[in-house]
């Protein structure tokens, strides 16, 4: 008989505790509401909130414009070294050159697959892809860069060599090497400024 009485006592105590907690919580809410009513938001705080909201809206609009611009970009051209010259692209594009002694070279195949998977990233960086898999053709591009077997070469818009790699490289790494260039950094800043102005005008 003693054990049931103790259990009932604990249950009763638990109910009292719950009631007190609820009363305290509702009192705290009521006090908070009353304090809010007694101290309305100041005009300066309203102005700050409006500025923050406008900045957030502009940032979202700019982000959406960036994504839309990227989706609208065409695929970068993939050309043979026999049909183009490096001088054609000075200050126009960044040539990414893929050399091999044979189009069946597994490294050449892998590199082209990596490029095709991320064409959008290359378009965004003004890239033109040029391939040369016939040493016997002795193209001007091959004579200038003198590859040995497989070679990946990235050029800046002024024609200077950014990287030379004897093995396939992921487009992410190619993009990073391009993004470090001062001209590319300026292009990024200019593009963001244009998109911000367009978003603000809408």
In a shared domain, residues 130 and 186? yes
Label residue 178 exposed, middle or buried (CB < 10 Å: 0-12, 13-18, 19+). Answer: buried
Question: In which domain, by residue range, is 185 found?
Answer: 72-191
Residue 140 belongs to domain with CATH number? 3.40.30.10
Report how many domains make up the chain. 2
Residue 170 lies in a domain: yes
In a shared domain, residues 98 and 148? yes
In a shared domain, residues 19 and 78? no
In a shared domain, residues 117 and 24? no
Q: 132, 98 in Cβ contact below 8 A? A: yes
Q: What is the pLDDT of residue 75?
A: 54
Alpha-carbon Rg of the chain, whole angstroms?
32
Per-residue pLDDT of the chain (202 residues; tens, 9 = 90+): 444 434 334 343 433 333 333 333 434 444 443 444 344 556 666 666 666 555 555 545 444 544 544 444 455 579 999 999 999 999 999 999 999 999 999 999 999 999 999 999 999 999 999 999 999 999 999 999 999 999 999 999 999 999 999 999 999 999 999 999 999 999 999 988 888 888 888 7
Cα distance between residue 192 and residue 124, in whole Å: 13
In a shared domain, residues 93 and 182? yes
In a shared domain, residues 137 and 184? yes
């Amino acid at each position: 008989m003693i054990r049931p009485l103790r259990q009932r006592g604990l249950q009763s105590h638990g109910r009292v505790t719950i009631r007190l907690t609820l009363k305290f919580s509702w009192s705290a809410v009521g006090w908070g509401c009353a304090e809010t009513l007694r101290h309305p938001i100041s005009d300066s705080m309203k102005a700050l909130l409006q500025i923050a909201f406008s900045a957030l809206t502009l940032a979202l609009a700019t982000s959406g414009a960036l994504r839309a611009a990227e989706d609208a970009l065409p695929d970068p051209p993939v050309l043979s070294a026999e049909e183009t010259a490096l001088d054609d692209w000075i200050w126009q594009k960044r040539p990414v050159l893929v050399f091999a002694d044979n189009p069946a070279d597994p490294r050449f195949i892998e590199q082209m697959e990596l490029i095709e998977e991320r064409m959008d990233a290359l378009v965004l960086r003004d890239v033109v892809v040029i391939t040369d898999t016939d040493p016997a053709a002795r193209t001007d591009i091959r004579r200038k860069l003198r590859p040995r077997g497989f070679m990946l070469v990235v050029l800046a818009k002024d024609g200077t060599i950014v990287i030379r790699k004897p093995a396939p490289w992921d487009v992410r790494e190619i993009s990073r090497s391009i993004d470090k260039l001062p001209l590319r950094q300026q292009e990024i800043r200019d593009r963001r400024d244009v998109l911000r102005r367009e978003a603000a005008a809408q």
